Amino acid sequence: MFTAQQIALIINAKIEGDASISVTSFGKIEEAKNGQISFLANPKYEDFLYTTQASVIIINEDFILKQPIAATLLRVKDAYSAFATLLHKYQEIQTQQLQGIQQPSFIAPTVKIGDNVFIAAFAYLGENVTIGNNVKIFSSVFVGDNVHIQDNTILHAGVKIYNDCKIGKNVIIHAGTVIGGDGFGFAPQQDGSFKKVPQIGNVVIEDFVEIGANTTIDRATIGSTIIRAGAKLDNLIQVAHNVEVGNNTVIAAQTGVSGSTKIGKNVMIGGQAGIVGHITIADGSKINAQSGVSKSMTEPNQAVTGSPAYDYTAALRSQAVARKLPELEKRIKELEKQLQSILAEKTV
């Protein structure tokens, strides 16, 4: 239970209303009940502001009320970010309560474990693993030999981390994700068969990265596949061997990135995009959903769409022309009739 005053201190908010009112849970603004806290960031939901039963509501500091409301308001610069901060704090409190090692689990004698660590039942930690402080490892997680996991990282149920990989601080890896599986490397032979190329590198995941459920990040053939600090990967993504994903880049679900491609920082990649191998994506690039990127994007902050992907603005113009094709066809036929009529008159 928290009061509006306590919450305001966490998110640096100005209070309008009863500062002593308490809340015990969160609720969507259209469904929230008495004793819950909600927020308004999207103008589409403004009507619910005047009908909700929420006790406390976080809103933007410049929002102008159209009519009085009963709830206590917490005014902030960015309501959405403030609500995210509050949820993060709530989640921290919950996870901090998890400590200790449940049984049955296997922990090799050479494992080094920091303070306030939680290891759930059926986890496996191999030889020479290092676990930092406040790390949370949930059930059925596999951590291979020589893996290093730094402070405050969370590995959800069923995560698999192969040998020699390195995970930074404040990383969240969701259920079913595989880190460090073999890259797709096969050398074609004269008889038409394929000879496996051993993948002896690793995966390095830097600080403050979040990786969604059932994503796969392959180990490098030689060297490292690297996910730079602050990157966010959605569910069901394939990152191939020796790929590098830059700082604060976000990649949506079902995207595939082929081997040795270098993606810059602050890149945004939509769902189901496909990126070929051995190319470079410049900083700040935007790749629209379902785009197929077949060559390097060398100019920063450019947007592409389509398959093969090309300039986003040019694509929109092409689409606009395509929508007018039936009308243009009709006009061309009319012009042809007029031309035929003029020619007929001249031959008379």
**Beta-strand relationship, 72-76 and 14-16:** antiparallel
| Residue 241 falls in the annotated catalytic set | yes
Of 199, 147, 183, give the one whose Cα is nearest residue 168: 147
The radius of gyration of the chain's CA atoms, rounded to the nearest angstrom, is 27
Q: pLDDT tens-digit profile of 263-272?
A: 999 999 999 9
CA distance 211 to 106: 25
State the chain's maximal CA–CA distance in angstroms.
Answer: 105
pTM of the complete model? 0.83
Residue 300 predicted with pLDDT over 90 = yes
pLDDT in tens, 140-168: 999 999 999 999 999 999 999 999 999 99
Give start and end residues of each alpha helix (H) in 168-237. Answer: none
Question: Closest by alpha carbon to 72, among 48, 39, 42, 46?
Answer: 39
Q: 88, 148, 174, 241: which is the annotated catalytic residue?
A: 241
Question: Token pair for residue 176?
Answer: 């079913």
What are the boundaries of each domain within the chain?
A: 2-96, 159-308, 314-347
Query: What topology does CATH give the domain 2-96?
Result: 3.40.1390
pLDDT of residue 174: 98
Of the listed ranges 60-74, 117-131, 186-200, 319-333, the least confidently predicted one is: 319-333
Fold of 159-308: UDP N-Acetylglucosamine Acyltransferase; domain 1 (2.160.10)
Tell me the mean pLDDT in the region 121-147. 98
C-alpha–C-alpha distance, residues 85 and 101, integer Å: 29
Strand order in the sheet with 14-16: 14-16, 72-76, 56-60, 36-39, 25-26
Residues 54/38, Cβ–Cβ less than 8 Å: yes
Q: What is the mean pLDDT of residues 299-321?
A: 85
pLDDT digits (tens, 9 = 90+) for 228-261: 999 999 999 999 999 999 999 999 999 999 999 9
